[in-house]
Chains A and B, each alone.
Chain A
């Protein structure tokens, strides 16, 4: 069994300040973990993924996430927010094997103020 919890439904930051989007997971397997971004009226785009290599994962557009097994967390960060980062962000956990079925968090809406 697996589950994922995004701890904030909305996060509001000012442009140029750091971003932190929090995600906790549970999994019976060695998980793969993902962050996806969805801009308004668009499909989901992969930001980054963790698949048991380096625990600090770098993604596109300056985002990164750290896998912490002891805390079962996979928080997404960015040092300096841009207006273009305003979007919905989804944390996803999956197991491995042929019957791959990922589990999505409910999403965090990132609002960036000028």
Chain B
């Protein structure tokens, strides 16, 4: 089974802090994704990566950056956290042979 893990289930940070959300997969998938999920808005793509050191902006990249130094790890960075970044953050990988995504359990981030 594919396993996607996220470093924290719950996180509380203060406005202006730099925040790192880590995602690790164990299935050697090239594509990885970061989404945020808000009630009534579904999942919105922040960034995705299709290879090591390669990244593409999604629909809502403002205020975020990403890092992919190793194939199994994809990090989301909030350079200066703001209250409107309070949300659920979901990481996913994709098996290109089946077009199927696999999701981590999510990190619920609260910015005070």
Q: Could you tell me if A101 and B48 are in contact, using CB atoms closer than 8 angstroms? A: yes
- CB atoms of B106 and A100 under 8 A apart: no
Residues of B within 8 A of A22 (CB): none
Residue of B nearest to A102 (CB): B101
Contacts of B40 in A (CB 8 A): 9, 106
Interface size of A in residues (CB-CB distance below 8 Å)? 25
Closest CB-CB distance, A5 to chain B, in whole Å?
A: 11
What is the distance, in angstroms, from A73's C-beta to the closest C-beta of chain B?
A: 18
- Which of the listed residues B35, B41, B43 has the most CB atoms from chain A within 10 Å of its own CB? B43
Closest chain-A Cβ to B87's Cβ sits at a distance in Å of 14
Q: Interface of B with A (CB < 8 Å)?
A: 4, 31, 35, 40-43, 45, 48, 50, 56, 58, 90, 92, 94, 96, 98-106, 108
Query: From DSSP, what is the main secondary structure of chain A's interface residues?
Result: loop
Q: How far is the CB of B47 from chain A (nearest CB, A)?
A: 11
Chain B hits for A9, CB < 8 A: 40
Q: Is the CB of B50 within 8 A of A99?
A: yes
Assess whether B50 is in contact with A90, with CB atoms less than 8 Å apart.
no
Cβ-closest chain B residue relative to A33 = B99
What's the Cα separation between A34 and B101 when bound, in Å?
10
Q: Sorted from nearest, which 7 A-B pairs have the closest CB atoms?
A: A106-B42, A43-B103, A44-B103, A32-B99, A104-B43, A43-B105, A107-B42
Cα(A51)–Cα(B99), bound, Å: 9
Q: How far is the CA of A41 from the CA of B98 in the complex (A)?
A: 26
Tell me if A14 is interfacial: C-beta within 8 Å of chain B: no
Which A39-64 residues have C-beta < 8 A from chain B? 41-46, 49, 51
Flag if B100 contacts A34 (CB, 8 Å): yes
Q: How far is the CA of A45 from the CA of B102 in the complex (A)?
A: 7
A24 proximal to B (CB < 8 A):
no
Q: Quick check: A46 and B100 within 8 Å, CB to CB?
A: yes
Nearest neighbor of B95 in chain A, beta-carbon distance:
A100
CA A104 to CA B106, docked complex, whole Å: 17
What's the Cα separation between A49 and B99 when bound, in Å? 9
A53 CB to closest chain B CB (Å) equals 12
